[in-house]
């Protein structure tokens, strides 16, 4: 009879090694499992928020560790693209509205349909959240975390100083009030202009909201296929926008970026500011709440306002060896409670219907304006930029250069529109 001791010893060792797997139940592997998470909208305060959520998740799931990778903001999108293209083993990635298309085309993201269908909070997502999730091929390759939607910040104290007790409901009223307030000799202007750094995301809303039939799938086209800026309504609106700059904006407003806009609003030198909700924190830190408010974007001659919805969300790379655990973390980070808390500090709009219904923070005060925009789709029409066009990455610079030339009187309205139309052809 052969000696079975080595065989029995080996069996005992194998069983001991497998015990954590059996104990883990639904876990994908014996722990601890490390998931690599790459964020792209990095900032020190925001990264600290994510780290707090990671610590909270790890405390609830001691067999899982999250390795957070936070490249510098200016390099983050390119860094993630390189990591995905080199098939690095990643588990959770922050995908942005302008990067999701290329990642999907390169087959780098997992289809989340099954996960979302089984998620107990899937039915609580805003219609806009579902639309954003399905940006590419009508398939959810990411779960949006938040939205950036424009609102009109107003220094009510400055308006009262000049005799205005009502707020503008139309773009024409906004322009008229801005001009009436302006007095260059006293360094008082009306409108917080954006001259640089994706300035088109403000100018194009104000201009194209005069056009009645903008396509929701491409802000630069009408429903009948025309180039939107070439319509008579848009031509008049471009001229009106130039007139606003000449009569209600400091001369150096042509060079203003985000910081200059916000600083001018806080100082009171420009009481109207078109910006996203993440600006609320900066304004709230600097001003007494009695001095300002935020209202929905004024409507154009069409009776509507066309609103862009910038967003970012979380996806699972196809290289992940632990997609179920990755989804478990994603669904934890974006559940209604954590998403609301995250957005309160970070500033953008949360993605769950229940948040606006149950949390007074997002249904009152300055955030009430965004709830109004979310709940009235006939007036506040969400439209898309042509993110999947190869022309889109260069559009910001082309539009900025042409618009600056137009504002400075070196180009006519017709010449500017012609150059934009030629570019998109």
- The rounded percent of the chain whose pLDDT value lies above 90 is 87
Q: Compute the chain's Rg from CA coordinates.
A: 25
Contact 192, 274 (CB under 8 A): yes
Average pLDDT for the chain: 92
Write down the pLDDT at residue 2: 41
Average pLDDT over residues 388-414: 94
Write down the pLDDT at residue 30: 56
Give the domain ranges of the chain: 29-148+311-351, 151-308+366-424
Report residue 31's pLDDT band, with 50, 70 and 90 as the boundaries. Answer: low
Contacts of 51-58 with C-beta under 8 Å, sequence gap 24+, read: 53/332, 53/333, 53/338, 53/342, 56/338, 57/329, 57/332, 57/333
Q: Is the pLDDT of residue 21 over 80?
A: no
Q: Is the pLDDT of residue 24 over 50?
A: no
Report residue 228's pLDDT band, with 50, 70 and 90 as the boundaries. Answer: very high
* SS3 category, 92: strand
CATH among 3.40.190.10, 3.20.20.10, 3.20.20.140, 3.40.50.1000 for 29-148+311-351? 3.40.190.10
pLDDT digits (tens, 9 = 90+) for 353-396: 999 999 999 988 999 999 999 889 999 999 999 987 889 889 99
Average pLDDT over residues 25-48: 81
* SS3 category, 153: strand
Domains 29-148+311-351 and 151-308+366-424 share a fold: yes
Residue-wise DSSP of 355-379: HHHH-HHHHSGGGHHHHHHHH-TTT
* SS3 category, 188: strand
Using CB atoms within 10 Å of the CB of residue 127, give its burial: 0 to 12 exposed, 13 to 18 middle, 19+ buried.
exposed
Class of domain 151-308+366-424: alpha beta
pLDDT digits (tens, 9 = 90+) for 171-193: 999 999 999 999 999 999 999 99
Average pLDDT over residues 153-170: 97
Write down the pLDDT at residue 338: 98
* CA distance from start to end of the chain: 86
Report residue 22's pLDDT band, with 50, 70 and 90 as the boundaries. Answer: very low
Report the C-alpha gap between 256 and 19 in whole angstroms. 62
Write down the pLDDT at residue 200: 95
Using CB atoms within 10 Å of the CB of residue 360, give its burial: 0 to 12 exposed, 13 to 18 middle, 19+ buried.
exposed
């Amino acid at each position: 009879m052969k000696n079975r001791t080595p065989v029995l010893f080996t069996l005992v060792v194998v069983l001991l090694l497998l015990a954590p797997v059996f104990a883990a139940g639904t876990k994908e592997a014996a722990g601890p499992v490390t998931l690599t998470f790459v964020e792209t909208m990095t900032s020190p305060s925001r990264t600290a928020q994510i780290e707090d959520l990671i610590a909270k998740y790890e405390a609830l799931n001691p067999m899982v560790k999250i390795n957070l990778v936070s490249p510098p903001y200016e390099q983050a999108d390119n860094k993630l693209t390189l990591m995905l293209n080199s098939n690095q083993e990643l588990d959770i990635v922050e995908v942005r509205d302008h990067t999701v298309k290329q990642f999907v085309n390169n087959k780098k993201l997992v289809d989340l349909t099954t996960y979302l269908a089984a998620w107990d909070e899937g039915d609580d997502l805003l219609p806009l959240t579902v639309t954003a999730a399905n940006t590419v091929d009508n398939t959810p390759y990411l779960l949006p975390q938040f939205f950036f939607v424009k609102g009109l910040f107003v220094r009510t104290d400055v308006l009262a100083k000049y005799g205005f007790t009502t707020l503008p409901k139309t773009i024409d009223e906004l322009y008229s009030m801005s001009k009436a307030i302006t007095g260059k000799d006293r360094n008082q202007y009306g409108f917080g202009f954006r001259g640089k750094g994706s300035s088109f995301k403000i100018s194009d809303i104000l201009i194209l909201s005069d056009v009645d039939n903008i396509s929701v799938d491409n802000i630069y086209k009408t429903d009948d296929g025309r180039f939107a800026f070439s319509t008579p309504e848009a031509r008049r609106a471009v001229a009106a926008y130039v007139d606003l700059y000449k009569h209600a904006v400091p001369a150096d407003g042509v060079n203003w970026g985000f910081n200059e806009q916000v600083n001018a609003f806080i100082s009171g030198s420009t009481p109207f500011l078109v910006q996203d909700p993440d600006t609320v924190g900066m304004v709230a830190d600097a001003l007494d709440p009695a001095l300002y408010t935020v209202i929905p974007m004024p409507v154009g001659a069409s009776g509507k306002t066309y609103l862009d919805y910038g967003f970012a969300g979380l996806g699972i790379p196809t290289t992940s060896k632990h997609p179920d655990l990755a989804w478990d973390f994603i669904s934890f980070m974006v559940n209604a409670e954590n998403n609301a808390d995250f957005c309160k500090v970070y500033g953008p709009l949360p993605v769950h219907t229940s948040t606006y219904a149950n949390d007074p923070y997002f249904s009152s005060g300055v955030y009430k304006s965004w709830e109004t925009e979310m709940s009235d789709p006939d007036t506040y029409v969400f439209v898309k930029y042509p993110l999947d066009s190869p022309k889109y990455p260069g559009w910001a610079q082309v539009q900025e250069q042409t618009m600056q030339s137009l504002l400075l009187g070196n180009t006519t309205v017709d010449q500017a529109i012609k150059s934009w139309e030629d570019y998109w052809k």
